[in-house]
A and B are shown apart, each in its own frame.
Chain A
C-alpha cells in the first residue's frame, strides 16, 4: 500500500530513439514539488498525471513520495521528477528538503475549502522567499468537479495568481480536467536551452530519453 504510484517504463535501459523522434531531440529534466494543505488532492493530481488513474481512497502521504513522468513539447523531451509532499502542517519542517533546488512547484488548494486557499498563499510566500529565485510556480484550484459547492471563486484565485506571477488553473484529479495541461504549461515556461539538465540534488542520475508511454504521446501535439 505504497503512498503513490510510480511512473511506467522509466527503468528501461534501452537507448533506442523514439520511433517518431526527430534527431535533434533535446532532453531536460526538472524537479517539481507539490505543496498544499492536507487532502486537497496533491497525490491524486500526481497519480492522474503519471498513471492516468484516480483512487477515491487515495492513502495519505507521510513524509513524501517520489514519481517521474516524461512529456514532450515540440522537440524537447521533458522529464519531471515529482516530489509529492505530506500536507499536514507538522511535516512543514521537511518541506525545504523537497523544494530546495526545485525548478517548479505546484501549490494546490481545494476550491471548496477556504483555509486551503489561505494555506496555498502562505506556501507561495515561502517559496518566493526560500526557493530558488527562478522557480516556476503554478497554483492549482483542485476538485473543480465540485464547482457547484465551491467557496473559493475562480476570479479571486486568478487575480491572486496574476498579482504573484503564478500560472493558474482549476483542476480536477477526479475527471482529469486540466491536469496534463498544468504540467504542460509549467514545462513550457521552464527554460530548456541552457543545457538545463540541472541535476538538482543527488549526483549521478541517468537521463532517460526513451520514454514513449501514453502520456508522452498525448502531449506531443
Chain B
C-alpha cells in the first residue's frame, strides 16, 4: 500500500472480516439464543484501544455490520515492510526493524497478548524508519480465532508448534519475527509461489533440523549471503528460529542482547518531527471521533472500496432444495469471503471543516484570563442534540475538557462550571467521575471480586437481563466486568446488600468506562451515597418510605392538581416509583436517555431525582388526569416515550425554584449538622405521611424574606388579635378558625384578590397550631394553588430569629 504524498495524509484505516455465524436455531443450555460471535469479539476487542505504544498501531474502533461483519478501525500510515523490502535493505536497517518489533512484542507480552499473525504486511515504517505493528490484536479479539471461520496468521511465518495446536505463546511470535528477519537478511522471498500444503510440510520438516536459518539459506541458494551476515546478528536470528519454543529467547532477552545494547541509539525509536498540521498533534482517538462527526462513516468507506457489497437477497435463494437438504442454486456469494485489504480513511473532509479554527482552540489556555476560552459560545443556545453532533462545537468542547481533565482535581470548579453548559459525550465517563469527586488511587485492584458469596446467583440472573440491547453490555466480557463491579461493590460495603436494580445503576458507569473498571467502580462508589444514601441497607423500608413521601409532597408542591387527582384514585408512588428512584431511572430508560438525565443529575444534590420524577409525571399529565387507577398504572408499567430534553429542563427549573428545606429528607448524607432553624429530626415519617404539603425551614423562610420577598406569600393563620400584636412583614392574615374549608374554593376564604397575591410565589402557611397549617395547606392544594408549604415549628420559631424580622405593635 503506497501512501499518497498529497497532504493531508491519512493516519487511519479500516479492515473487515466476518465472525463465525452460529448454525440456525442453536440455543445455549438456558434455552436462549447464543450471543453472536461478532458481539463477543466487540467485547474482547475493547481493551486493545488502551494500548498506546510507539511500536504499536493504536486501535480506535470496532464496528458491527450486517451478517456478523466486524470492522476494525486502527492507526495506519507509512509503508509496509512488504513494500519496503522490494529492494534490498541495509543490514543496519534490518537490525533496527528487528529491534523495534521486539520492543512491540515486549509490550504485548507484558499485556499478556500474543500476535500470531506477524508478517511483513503488518509491519509499518514511517519516514524515520520507525516500526509500528498493525492488526496485532486479531488473534486476541477473536479468542484465538475461535470466533472466526478462517485461520489466523500467514502460514509462511508460522512456527511448527502452531500446526500442532500450540497457542498463546509469545515464543511463536519470536519465530515469526525470526522468519521475517531471515527473509530480509537473505534478500529473498521464502517459498515464493509454493502451495500452502507444501509450505506446511516444509515447516514441519524443520522439526528434524538443527539450524533452521542455515537450512533456509541453503534451500534458497543464499548460503553466500548467509555467510556475509554479521555473526552476532545471525546467531540471534538462529535462536529465534529454534525449533523448540522454550529455547527461543524472550523479547526482554533479545533487547538486552549486546548486539543491540552496544548501539541502542541506532536501533531505538526516533521521535519524528512534530507535524505542522495542528490537528495531527491531537490524540488520534480524538481525530477519529471528529472524523466521524465530520461525516466520516467506515461502512461507506468500505463500500466505496468494494469491501462491503450489498447484493439483493433474492439472488441467493436456491433454485432447488432436495429432501436431503442439498441445495442447487447460484454459487455462494464471494462477498462473504475474507478480504484482507486495508482501506485508508481520508481526513480531507475533517481538515476542511476545521481549517478556519484559531490555533488557540487546539490548545486552550485555561488559566489566562487574557485569553478567554469561550469558543463556541455562540452555539450554546442551540438544542443539545445539535450541539452534540456539531463537529466544530465538539472540537472546542473536547479540547477544552481534555485540558481541564488534565488539571483535575485542581480544575474541579471549572469542570463543574463547564459541565453545567453541557458535557461532551466523548469525555462523559471521566467528566462524571470528576463531578463525583472520584480520585483513583488503585483501591479497586485490592477488592475481592472472586470469592463466591450468597448474592452470586442473584447477580448472575440479573446481568443477562440488564441493558442487553447494548452490544458491549451483552458481550461476555461485558458480563464479566459487570459481575466484578457488582461483587466489588458488595464486598466494599459490608453494611449494604445487593438489591435488584444495583445492576442497572452500575450499567451506565460500565458503559462509559468499559476499559477503566476502576473509574466505573469509583464513580458508582461515590454516586450511591450522594443520591441513594442507605437505599441498599438490608432493611431500607424507612428510607424508601420517606423518599416516596417526599416525592408525593413535592408533587403537591409543583403539580397540585395532579397530586390531588392521583391521591384521589389511590395511585401511590409505592406502586410505580420504586424502580425510578432505586435505580435513578437507569432501569426505566435506555442508556442514551440516561446519559442526558444524569449529566444534569450529577450537578444537582440528592433532591434532584425527585424533580426528575415530577417532570415525568408532568409530561404525562393530561393522560394521567383523564385516567383512572388501572390506566395510570398501566401507563407506568410501560413508560411511553419521555422527551428527555423537556424532562431535564423541567426538573432543572423546579430544582432551582424549590427552597432546599422543602425537599429536605432525614436520610441523606449531610455535610453540615442541622440547626434549630432547619427541619429538625423530630419530624418523623408519620408526620410526613399525614401532611400533603412539605415544610419549609425558618432559615429558608428568613432567606426568602430578606432576599426575595416578592417570591413569597406568607399566610398567617393565627387569629386577627395575635396577628395585630406581631407579624411578619408583607404577610396576610387568614385566621384559620374563620376559614371555610369545606369546599375547595378560594373565594370562600373571603380574602380579596388572594389568588393574585399568591400567584407565582411560594405560599407559606404559618400557624402556631400545626394541625391548622396542615389542613389549610391541603385545602390550598385542592384549590390548585402552586408551591404551598408549611413553616416548620410555626410562628413561634420566628421570635427567636436574630436580627428580628417581626413587626410588633
Contact = CB atoms under 8 A, between A and B. Distances in A.
B500 A57 contact: no
Contacts of A19: none
Contacts of A66: 575, 630, 633-634, 636-637
B461 interface: yes
Contact of A6 (B569, B578, B588, B637): B637
A147 to B, nearest CB: 10
Contacts of B474: 57
Nearest to A201: B570
B634 A7 contact: yes
A62 B583 contact: yes
A134 interface: no
Contact of A202 (B461, B497, B569): B569
B371 interface: no
Contacts of B583: 62
Given A38-B461, A57-B464, A67 B569 contact: no
A206 interface: yes
Interface string B566-600: 00011100111011001100011110000000000
Contact of A90 (B29, B33, B538): B538
Contacts of A202: 569-571, 629
B541 interface: yes
A146 B474 CA distance: 23
Contacts of A11: 627, 631, 634
A194 B538 CA distance: 43
B628 interface: yes
Contacts of B469: 57
B587 A59 contact: yes
Nearest to A208: B630
Contacts of B630: 10, 66, 68, 81, 205-206
B87 interface: no
A58 B538 CA distance: 26
A6 B638 contact: yes
A185 interface: no
Nearest to B540: A90
B520 to A, nearest CB: 20
Interface in A86-118: 86-88, 90-91, 93-94, 97
Contacts of B462: 38-39, 60
B579 A1 contact: no
A90 B497 contact: yes
A136 B469 CA distance: 37
A86 B587 contact: no
Interface in B498-537: 499-501, 503-504
A139 interface: no
A5 B640 CA distance: 11
A5 B575 CA distance: 16
A39 B627 CA distance: 32
Contacts of B467: 1
A16 interface: no
A60 B503 CA distance: 10
Contacts of A174: 31
Contact of B637 (A4, A60, A90): A4
A10 B31 CA distance: 33
Nearest to B583: A62
Interface in A56-80: 56-68
Contacts of A1: 467, 587-590
A83 B116 CA distance: 55
B154 interface: no
A62 B569 contact: no
Interface in B459-492: 461-462, 464-469, 474
B458 interface: yes
A60 B265 CA distance: 60
A56 B589 contact: no
A59 B461 contact: no
Contacts of B541: 93
Given A1-B590, A62-B587, A205-B630, A39 B637 contact: no
Q: Is the interface of A mostly helix, strand, loop or mixed?
A: loop
A88 B499 contact: yes
Interface in B14-37: 29-33
A97 B574 contact: yes
A152 B466 CA distance: 27
B579 A38 contact: no
Contacts of A39: 461-462, 465
Nearest to B538: A90
B500 A60 contact: yes
B475 to A, nearest CB: 13
B499 A2 contact: no
B628 A205 contact: yes
A85 to B, nearest CB: 11
Contacts of A94: 574, 578
Contacts of A48: none
Contacts of A62: 500-501, 504, 578-579, 582-583, 587
B728 to A, nearest CB: 41
A150 to B, nearest CB: 12
Contacts of B574: 63, 94, 97
A3 B587 contact: yes
A148 to B, nearest CB: 10
A147 B631 CA distance: 38
A59 B591 CA distance: 14
B628 A2 contact: no
Contacts of A10: 630, 634
B751 interface: no
A81 B634 CA distance: 10
B639 interface: yes
Given A3-B637, A63-B579, A201-B570, A86 B468 contact: no
A67 B631 CA distance: 10
A38 B457 CA distance: 10
Contacts of B461: 38-39, 60
B569 A204 contact: yes
Contacts of A59: 465-466, 587
A148 B247 CA distance: 51
Nearest to A60: B465
Given A62-B500, A88-B499, A2 B578 contact: no
Contacts of B636: 2, 66
B458 A88 contact: yes
B637 A2 contact: yes
B629 A58 contact: no
B348 to A, nearest CB: 40
Nearest to A144: B31
Nearest to A88: B500
Interface string A172-186: 001000000000000
A171 to B, nearest CB: 13
A95 B569 CA distance: 21
Highest count of chain A CB atoms <10 Å: which of B464, B501, B588, B637? B637
A2 B466 contact: no
A205 B639 CA distance: 21
A57 B579 contact: no
A48 B493 CA distance: 38
Interface in B267-288: none
A2 B464 contact: no
Given A2-B638, A88-B499, 4 more contacts: A1-B587, A56-B32, A56-B33, A66-B636
18 contacts: A3-B588, A5-B637, A11-B627, A11-B634, A38-B458, A39-B461, A56-B32, A59-B465, A62-B501, A62-B578, A63-B578, A64-B575, A66-B633, A90-B500, A202-B629, A203-B570, A204-B569, A205-B630
Interface of B: 29-33, 458, 461-462, 464-469, 474, 497, 499-501, 503-504, 538, 541, 569-571, 574-576, 578-579, 582-583, 587-590, 627-631, 633-639
Interface of A: 1-7, 10-11, 38-39, 56-68, 81, 86-88, 90-91, 93-94, 97, 143, 145-146, 149, 174, 201-206
Closest 9 CB pairs of A and B: A39-B461, A63-B578, A57-B468, A62-B579, A202-B570, A2-B638, A66-B633, A202-B629, A88-B500
